[in-house]
C-alpha cells in the first residue's frame, strides 16, 4: 500500500475519532435534566422530596466536576446556561418552585421563555436557565406543595 494512502486512512480515522469525541461532548451538554418531586405522607405529616433519576447525568460531565456537592437523592441536578430544567410530580399534584434560600433566580423571568415557577395541572414545570452571563455555581431553592414541608433542593450551574 502506498505511503500516501496509509497516511490518508490514518488521517481519516483520526478525524472520525475526534468527531465522535466532540459529538459525545455536545450531546452531554444538551441533555435536559428532570427533577422528580413527590409528596410523602408519613405518620400524619406531609413532606416533599425531590430526586434525580435519568439516563444521562450532566454532573458526570468533566466541566461539572462530579456530584460531591450535588447529591442525586436530594434532587440536585447539573445544567448549563440557556438549557431547560423540568420538574415532574410523581402524581398530578400542583407544586411551586421558590428561590427562598438566599440564591438568586437563574431562570428566565420575562418574555416568551419566562418561568412561572408553578406547575401545570398535570404536575409538570419546565423552565429555561438565563443567558451565558448567568453566574456559575450552586443555586438553592425549595419545592412547595400545599400542606407539606417543602423540599430544599440545589441546582448546579456549570
Q: Are 108 and 6 in contact (CB under 8 A)?
A: no
pTM: 0.77
Find, among 117, 121, 126, 124, the residue nearest to 96 by Cα: 117
Distance of alpha carbon 118 from alpha carbon 87, whole angstroms:
10
Q: What pLDDT shows up at residue 129? A: 94
Percent of the chain at pLDDT above 90?
59
| Residue 17 predicted with pLDDT over 60 | no
Residue 22: how many other CB atoms lie within 10 Å:
10
C-alpha cell of residue 100: 427562598
* Mean of per-residue pLDDT scores for the chain: 85
pLDDT tens digits for 72-84? 999 999 999 999 9
- Closest alpha carbon to 25 in 74, 69, 82, 63: 63
Q: Does residue 26 carry a pLDDT above 50?
A: no
Q: What is the pLDDT of residue 10?
A: 58
Give the alpha-carbon dihedral of 145, 136, 133, 26, to 10 degrees.
-90
User: Which of 23-32, 90-99, 131-140 has the least mean pLDDT?
Assistant: 23-32
User: In 3D, which of 138, 158, 152 has the Cα closest to residue 74?
Assistant: 152
For 130-151, write each residue's pLDDT tens digit.
988 889 999 999 999 999 999 9
pLDDT of residue 83: 93
What's the CA angle centered on 77, arms 71 and 83, to 5 degrees?
A: 165
pLDDT digits (tens, 9 = 90+) for 110-133: 888 899 999 999 999 999 999 888
Q: 150 near 75, Cβ under 8 Å?
A: no
Amino acid at each position: 500500500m502506498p505511503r500516501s494512502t496509509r497516511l490518508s486512512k490514518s488521517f481519516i480515522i483520526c478525524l472520525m475519532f475526534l468527531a465522535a469525541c466532540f459529538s459525545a461532548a455536545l450531546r452531554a451538554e444538551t441533555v435536559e435534566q428532570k427533577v422528580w418531586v413527590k409528596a410523602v405522607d408519613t405518620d400524619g405529616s406531609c413532606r416533599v422530596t425531590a430526586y434525580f433519576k435519568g439516563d444521562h447525568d450532566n454532573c458526570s460531565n468533566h466541566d461539572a466536576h462530579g456530584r460531591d456537592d450535588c447529591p442525586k437523592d436530594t434532587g440536585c441536578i447539573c445544567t448549563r446556561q440557556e438549557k431547560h430544567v423540568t420538574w415532574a410530580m410523581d402524581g398530578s399534584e400542583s407544586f411551586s418552585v421558590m428561590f427562598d434560600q438566599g440564591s438568586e433566580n437563574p431562570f428566565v423571568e420575562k418574555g416568551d421563555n419566562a418561568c412561572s415557577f408553578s406547575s401545570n395541572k398535570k404536575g409538570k414545570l419546565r423552565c429555561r436557565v438565563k443567558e451565558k452571563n448567568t453566574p456559575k455555581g450552586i443555586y438553592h431553592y425549595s419545592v412547595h406543595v400545599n400542606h407539606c414541608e417543602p423540599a430544599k433542593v440545589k441546582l448546579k450551574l456549570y
